[in-house]
């Protein structure tokens, strides 16, 4: 890009030539490409349309009126690109600066941006012509692009740090999840082992109970008689003797 747009600006329409149009056209095209590659998520569609209109008039450059119109469209495209760049410059810092974790770096970048915007704003009210105003913006372009690059790098470093920290948290969560799964498996295994032991003991208890129940019934009478109190045994015997002397119910 040229050092200053005033170097190829023509104050009088009568002095405009097709060569002047070509200079504006190619300088604008380079400006659009430069700003779009480094800063703009929104393309300079309005500026591109202005260049299309300029190209239309260039093809009919056999008339001076078409040369003048092409020249004006090129200038308009150049100005639109610088306007969009300033708007996007401010927007990028509003949206991206918060992602810079290093507070010193963040403050340093913010101060640089503030100086650039103050210079542009001061020139806006000080200059007498639009060419002078946009020339002041163009003079800040390289510094602004360098600052955008610095911002992108700082945000990228912060992003990498955040990704590393996030990955660390993910790894720790994965370790905790694996440890928890292991504990759950150990608990489940222990429960199954205890259940198996209880089932086995219950099985043998049922077998023993099944065997002892009929045996107990068989020996219940003898055991009861064996353990009966002696007095009770005598009374029981007397009752049996008396019962033997009772008349039969079937005899008269």
Cα–Cα distance between 149 and 141 in angstroms, integer?
A: 12
How high is the pLDDT of residue 69? 93
Per-residue pLDDT at 215 exceeds 90 = no
- pLDDT of 111 > 80? The answer is yes
Residue 113's pLDDT band, with cuts at 50, 70 and 90, is: confident
Confidence of residue 10 (pLDDT cuts 50, 70, 90): confident
The per-residue pLDDT for 123 is 79
140 has a pLDDT exceeding 50? yes
The whole-number pLDDT of residue 109 equals 83
68 pLDDT exceeds 60?
A: yes
Report the C-alpha gap between 49 and 98 in whole angstroms: 34
Confidence band of 74 (pLDDT split at 50, 70, 90):
very high
Which residue blocks in the chain are alpha helix, DSSP H? 18-38, 45-58, 64-96, 103-126, 130-139, 141-218, 220-226, 230-245
Question: 73 pLDDT exceeds 90?
Answer: yes
The count of other CB atoms within 10 Å of the CB of residue 141 is 18
pTM for this entry: 0.56
Q: What is the mean pLDDT of residues 101-113?
A: 83
Over the chain, what is the mean pLDDT? Answer: 74
CB-based contact 77:28 (threshold 8 Å): yes
Share of the chain above pLDDT 70, in %: 66
Contact 85, 144 (CB under 8 A): yes
Residue 102: name the closest of 52, 157, 144 by CA.
157
Q: Among 54-58, 133-137, 197-201, 236-240, which range has the highest average pLDDT?
A: 54-58
pLDDT in tens, 153-168: 887 775 555 555 555 6
Distance from C-alpha of 72 to C-alpha of 57, rounded to nearest angstrom: 10
């Amino acid at each position: 890009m040229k050092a200053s747009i005033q170097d190829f600006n023509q104050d009088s329409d009568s002095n405009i030539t097709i060569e002047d149009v070509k200079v504006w056209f190619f300088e604008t095209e380079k400006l659009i490409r430069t700003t779009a590659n480094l800063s703009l998520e929104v393309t300079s569609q309005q500026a591109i349309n202005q260049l299309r209109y300029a190209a239309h008039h260039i093809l009919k450059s056999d008339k001076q009126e078409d040369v003048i119109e092409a020249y004006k469209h090129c200038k308009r495209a150049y100005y639109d690109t610088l306007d969009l760049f300033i708007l996007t410059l401010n927007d990028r810092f509003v949206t991206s600066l918060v992602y810079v974790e290093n507070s010193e770096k963040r403050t340093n970048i913010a101060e640089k941006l503030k100086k650039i915007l103050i210079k542009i704003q001061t020139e806006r009210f000080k200059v007498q012509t639009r060419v002078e105003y946009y020339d002041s913006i163009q003079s800040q372009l390289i510094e602004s692009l360098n600052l955008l690059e610095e911002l992108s790098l700082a945000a990228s470093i912060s992003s990498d740090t955040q990704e590393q920290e996030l990955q660390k948290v993910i790894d720790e969560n994965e370790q905790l999840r694996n440890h928890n799964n292991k504990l759950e498996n150990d608990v489940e295994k222990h429960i199954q082992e205890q259940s198996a032991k209880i089932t086995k003991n219950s099985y043998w208890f049922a077998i023993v109970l099944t065997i002892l129940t009929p045996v107990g019934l068989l020996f219940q009478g003898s055991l009861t008689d064996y353990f009966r109190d002696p007095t009770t045994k005598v009374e029981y015997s007397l009752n049996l003797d008396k019962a033997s002397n009772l008349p039969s119910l079937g005899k008269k």
